[in-house]
Structure 1
Amino acid sequence: MTTRLQALAPWLAALWWGSLTTLGVVVVPLLFVHLPSPALAGGMAAKLFTAQTWLGTGCGLLLLLLNRPGQDRVDAGRAQSITVFVMLGVLLALLSEFAVAPRIVSRENLRLWHSVGSAMFALQWLCAGVTFWKVTRKVGSI
């Protein structure tokens, strides 16, 4: 992969991690503070989490393509480590969207599924953060 394309990896990882951070720490809490009802805020949050799922999935897929072992300047061990965190993060996003979110929307055991969804979001945030750290650190450094 050319160095120019490889230079996109930190930007993709930053977009993924930054969008998760912004959504979870700023946007969704503000929805619940400023919208007239929790139901309205929850509905809007659900739409934003869906958009985040697709943004994270797109960033993850592109990161997988850019960090394949055997590509120029990509260490095989580093690429494998990045791959694990990207795949886990994308899997968490997709499971949240297709397994957890429908249960929250249908208000099925809301406390349980909201807790599961929140934990999965936090783990996805952690995966994206580790990916960002691994993509931006210099090859051969700690």
Structure 2
Amino acid sequence: MLKKYGMESYDAVETPMVKRSKLDEDPQETPVDPTKYRIMVGSLMHFTSSRHDLVFAVCICARYQARPTEKHLTTVKRVFQYVKETINMGLWYPKNTGIELTAFADADHTGFQDSRKSTSGSEQFLGEKSYG
């Protein structure tokens, strides 16, 4: 995917998002091609089933698919840079073993800063491991 989006020469990073990043809707920001943005986010969505460390960042980016701007695209590119750094990470599900999945969820009604829509979070336990 890095090759597909011309990002092979980009430096790898250790975190998928900048700490304390406040990604929001900004009509003053430079718009980018929404089709390309959606394809990039969709490519990252594919990873979220085995890369739980990407779920939060990718879902935040997915919120802005209708009118993405330059700062949203920069964030998506950073997630790709993180994938480059952590290419060998992921969940490996052992064959023929019983694994118990336990999940908990929480919601914050009207908590999203742009639209006052609800936000939610969850924690999953696969066997004795925690993935949140």
TM-score scaled by length of structure 2: 0.37
Q: Which has the higher contact order (CA 8 A, sep 6+)?
A: 1
Higher strand share: 2
TM-score scaled by length of structure 1: 0.35
